[in-house]
Amino acid sequence: MIARKDLFDFMIRQIKHTGDSHGDRMPQAFGRWFAQMYFPGDPKIEISDGTGDGKVDLLVRSHVAQSVHFNILKTKFPNVDDKG
């Protein structure tokens, strides 16, 4: 069985890789990483600003069948030492 800490560390490495690939800081990379995993196809992602301001962080446009879906994300980057 994989320990929770191992899964958390894996997630942080993937977010860091996403950030390095797109020039994002970790909080913005977290939103991009989540959107790429959650939304189907090749979502178009616009990062509006930084996290922590209580406002919209990402705008995501995705295609499902013949429809276009627009999603607004407000993210919270996880605590990097996994205390929770």
Please state the rounded mean pLDDT for residues 42-67.
83
Query: Under a CB-based contact definition with an 8 Å cutoff, are residues 72 and 56 in contact?
Result: yes
Angle between helix 4-22 and helix 26-38 axes, rounded to 10 deg = 100
Mean pLDDT value across the chain: 86
Sign of the CA dihedral with 24 first, then 42, 15, and 52 last? positive
Higher pLDDT, 21 or 53: 21
Q: Locate 37 and state its tokens.
A: 């995993």
- Residue 82, pLDDT > 60, answer no
At 55 the pLDDT is 81
Instruction: Kindly state the DSSP code that residue 77 receives in the 8-state scheme.
Output: P
Q: Tell me the three state secondary structure of residue 69.
A: strand
User: Mean pLDDT lowest for which of 8-12, 51-55, 70-74?
Assistant: 51-55
CA distance 42 to 63: 8
In this prediction, residues 58-76 reach a mean pLDDT of 89
